[in-house]
Amino acid sequence: MQIDLPAELIERLHKRVALHPNATEADVIRAALDSLDQLDQERRAIQEGINAWRAGDVEDFGEFDRQFSREHDISPDA
């Protein structure tokens, strides 16, 4: 597959490869795409939280904290 990139992107790619002597251009592009995938996953999780909040599917934080602490054997004054 042939992908044409603007000179500015090619320069940025080469600079990134130069920072990591054992990396290839593919490694840098893979890492960039992995980062974008992670951001997308985080955005979806945040949106799910917002949607749950808007739907009223929430729990009092104090009660959640007490229950979580009990379940994980965490001292209340920790």
Query: In the predicted model, what is the mean pLDDT of the chain?
Result: 94
User: What pTM did the predictor assign?
Assistant: 0.69
Measured distance CA(55)–CA(40) in Å, rounded: 22
Residues 16-39: what's their mean pLDDT? 96
Measured distance CA(19)–CA(29) in Å, rounded: 14
User: Residue 62 in 3-state DSSP?
Assistant: helix
Q: Which helix (DSSP H) or strand (DSSP E) does residue 4 occupy?
A: none
Residue 60 lies in a domain: yes
CA angle, residues 50, 31, 47, in degrees to nearest 5: 5
Residue 1 has pLDDT above 90, yes or no: no
Domain carrying residue 21: 7-71
Residue 2 lies in a domain: no
Residues 16-30: what's their mean pLDDT? 95
Residue 1 lies in a domain: no
Measured distance CA(57)–CA(22) in Å, rounded: 48
Residue 14 lies in a domain: yes
Count how many domains the chain has.
Answer: 1
